[in-house]
Amino acid sequence: MSIIKLLEDFTTDKLTTEPSSRRQMFGSMGSLGKKAAMAAIPFGLAASTSKAKAATTASAMQTYPNSSLQLALVLEYIEADFYAKALDSGVLSNYPKAEAIYMQISKHETAHVNLLKGALGDAAFDAPEFDFTAGGNFDPFGDDGTNDAIAYQQLLILAQAFEDTGVRAYKGQATNLMNDPGLLTVALQIHSVEARHASEIRRLRGIKGWITGDERGMGVPPIAQPVYIHEDNTTHGGVDVTTLGDGSPFSFESSTEAYDEPLTSDDAGAIAALFLQN
């Protein structure tokens, strides 16, 4: 879980008084640049360089649900912080419907954070600082003087990206939770709430609540394309659903809308990394 290691390092560096032990843990990798590079290391490799290295096979298995929940916690931290700041920004004051929607979503995302922190226990970590400009690409809270109408559109675009990412990320972790039916069910119960959110935000933006092909939807900049990569898949379990019949239910559009695609840990982590403060 590369993104998790990166986050842990950022947050722990600020708190710990023993930099040498941190350094030891990461071997010769001391620079932020190298830590950032770790974010690009595939899941399994990153895990092997971490504390889990010396773990037995059995306990390594047990870290699996934890890494899935940690990825979920990162995404929920992003969402919870984003909606709280959005509601606090004043940008929504002229948009009462959107404000009501954001309040409802904010309530859920905060609850998800608490739920995941509880489930993770000692394996939880504090929220890092996020950069919702994504390196200067957005000004969703109008902090940089962007007028409310434009900031509002950016608030919706970011919310759409976070929710559609959330749906795909939880879906991608489902098989990692199969050995723990209780956790799996909770993850599924969060997953479908993210999908409800995604649908509503998308419709608020004037586009369909479901994803056609791998389209980002009008107004969403190309930087968000990783959120929709492979969403145009039409083959599920070896069955190409466009070949199942004739007519509108089996068109490319319908066939891609009817199925949401999972996102790998790496792909979800890379999207989260766009919003890490550096």
Partner 1 sequence: MKKQQIKVSTANGRNRRQFLKTSGLAIAGSGLLVACFDDKELYGNDGPFDLGGGDLGVLNYAYALEQLEAEFYIKVLNGTYWSGAAEEEQTILQDLYNHEINHRDFFKTALNANFDADVVLPTLEFDFSSVDFNDRDSVLSTAQLLEDTGVKAYNGAGKIIETGAYLVIAGKIVSVEARHAAAIRSIRGGDMDDFKLFAGDDAVDPATGLDGAEDPSVILAAAGGFIVTEFTANKLP
Burial class (CB in 10 A: 0-12, 13-18, 19+), 47: buried
Q: How far is CA 153 from the centre of its chain?
A: 20
The two tokens of residue 211 are 């994803």
Q: Is 199 in the site for partner 1 (CB under 8 A)?
A: yes
The two tokens of residue 130 are 């996020």
Number of residues this chain uses to bind partner 1 (CB under 8 A): 63
Q: Which amino acid is at 233?
A: N
Q: Is 104 in the site for partner 1 (CB under 8 A)?
A: yes
Q: Is 69 in the site for partner 1 (CB under 8 A)?
A: no
Q: How far is CA 80 from the centre of its chain?
A: 11
Q: Which one among 33, 44, 136, 181 touches partner 1, defined by CB under 8 A?
A: 181
Q: How far is the CB of 239 from partner 1 (least distance, A)?
A: 5
> Rounded distance, CA 236 to CA 243, Å?
12
Burial class (CB in 10 A: 0-12, 13-18, 19+), 128: buried
Contacts of 72 (CB under 8 A, 6+ apart): 112, 116, 169, 170, 173, 187, 190
> Rounded distance, CA 182 to CA 39, Å?
30
Residue with Cβ nearer partner 1 (147 or 235): 235
CA count, 13 A, side-chain hemisphere, 17? 0
Q: Which one among 5, 35, 117, 171 touches partner 1, defined by CB under 8 A?
A: 171
Contacts of 197 (CB under 8 A, 6+ apart): 105, 108, 159, 163, 166
Residue with Cβ nearer partner 1 (232 or 257): 257
Q: Is 26 in the site for partner 1 (CB under 8 A)?
A: no
Q: Is 205 in the site for partner 1 (CB under 8 A)?
A: no
Q: Which one among 13, 249, 252, 277 touches partner 1, defined by CB under 8 A?
A: 249
Q: Which one among 1, 195, 220, 224 touches partner 1, defined by CB under 8 A?
A: 195
Q: Which one among 16, 48, 62, 192 touches partner 1, defined by CB under 8 A?
A: 192
Among the listed residues 274, 165, 142, 154, the one whose alpha carbon sits nearest the alpha carbon of residue 220: 154
Q: Is 210 in the site for partner 1 (CB under 8 A)?
A: yes
Q: Is 197 in the site for partner 1 (CB under 8 A)?
A: yes
Residue with Cβ nearer partner 1 (23 or 236): 236
Rg, Å, the chain Cα set: 19
Q: Which one among 69, 190, 220, 227 touches partner 1, defined by CB under 8 A?
A: 190
| Span of 1-9, 44-52, 137-145, 238-246 interacting with partner 1 by CB under 8 A | 238-246
Q: Which one among 38, 78, 105, 119 touches partner 1, defined by CB under 8 A?
A: 105
Q: Is 261 in the site for partner 1 (CB under 8 A)?
A: yes
The residues that touch partner 1, with contacts defined as CB under 8 A, are 96-97, 100-101, 103-105, 107-112, 115, 167, 170-171, 174-175, 178, 181, 184-186, 188-200, 203, 208-210, 230, 235-239, 241, 244-245, 248-251, 254-255, 257-262, 264
